[in-house]
Amino acid sequence: MISYCIACYRPAYARLLIEDLILKTSAPYEILVWLNVADTEFEALLERRIAENAPLRILGRTPGNIGMEAYPHLFAAARYDLIVQIDDDVVCLSPRIAETARAAFDRHPSLGMLTADVWQDDYTTGARPPMEHYRPIDPEMGLFDGPIDGWFAVYRRASLLRCGPIRVGRYYCLGGAIKGRLRTFGQQGWLCTRMKVFHVIGPAYASHFGMLDEEIEKYRSLGRHEIVNWYEGARTSLPAAEELARRVARIRECLSA
C-alpha cells in the first residue's frame, strides 16, 4: 500500500499528475496534497475527486508557498508503508510503481529509498544526469547507485522514521538529503529504471504546458540566473506546438505500457 505526497504550487502540472496517479495505481493508495497556492479551479477539481471517492486528502493550505517545508507534514500524515515524495511537475508515470517498489524493497533489505527514472529525449533530461554517472546494483530489477533526488522518491516508512527530523527550506533537495541520512545507518537509496516518470524539465516542455513564464520567474526568484538565461534564450527556437504535442502524446503512450 502506498501514500503519495505532493506539495502543489503549479496546478497546471499537478492536476495532470493527480489524474494519472488515480488512473495508473493498481494497489491500495492515498494521495495527500498540500496546497502551496490559492487556485479555486484546482481546489474544485480536488473536491470533485474526493466526492467521487478518490482516496485523496487536502492536508494544508499555505497560499504564500512554503514549498518543500510541506513534506514533513505530509510524511507524518501518511498511513501506508510506502511513502512517496513527488514534485508537482511530474505529470505522467508508468503503471505498477507500487508493486515494482515493493519487490525491490523485499529483495534488498538494506534499501530504504527508490527514485524513479525519468523520461529523456532531445528536449529534456528530466533532471537526471547521464547513466555513465550510475553504478549497476541489480540490473535485473533496474537498480543503480548514483545521483538521485525526490522528483519521485519512494521511501519505506521505517526508513523515514529512522532519519528523524530534517530541517527543510522552501527550496531544498530533500530526496538527496534523505539518501545521505540513510547511508549513515547502513541503508541505501537507488535509482530504479523499472519505474519511470515524465518530469517536466526544460523550456520546450514547459512551453507546451503553458508554464514557461512561470518557470522563468521561479528560477529568477531563486537566483538561478543560468537557468533563467537558458529558458529566456530558448523562446526564439522553441519547437512547433504540433511537434511538442506529438512528443507528449508519445510519452504518455510509452508510460502507459
The CATH topology of domain 2-199 is Spore Coat Polysaccharide Biosynthesis Protein SpsA; Chain A (3.90.550)
165 has a pLDDT exceeding 90: no
pLDDT, tens digit (0-9, with 9 covering 90-100), for 31-49 = 999 999 999 999 999 999 9
Q: Which grid coordinates belong to 189?
A: 537509496
For the chain, the structural domain boundaries read 2-199, 203-254
Q: Tell whether the model's pLDDT for residue 202 goes beyond 90.
A: yes
pTM: 0.96
Model pLDDT for residues 49-96, shown as the tens digit of each residue: 999 999 999 999 999 899 999 999 999 999 999 999 999 999 999 999
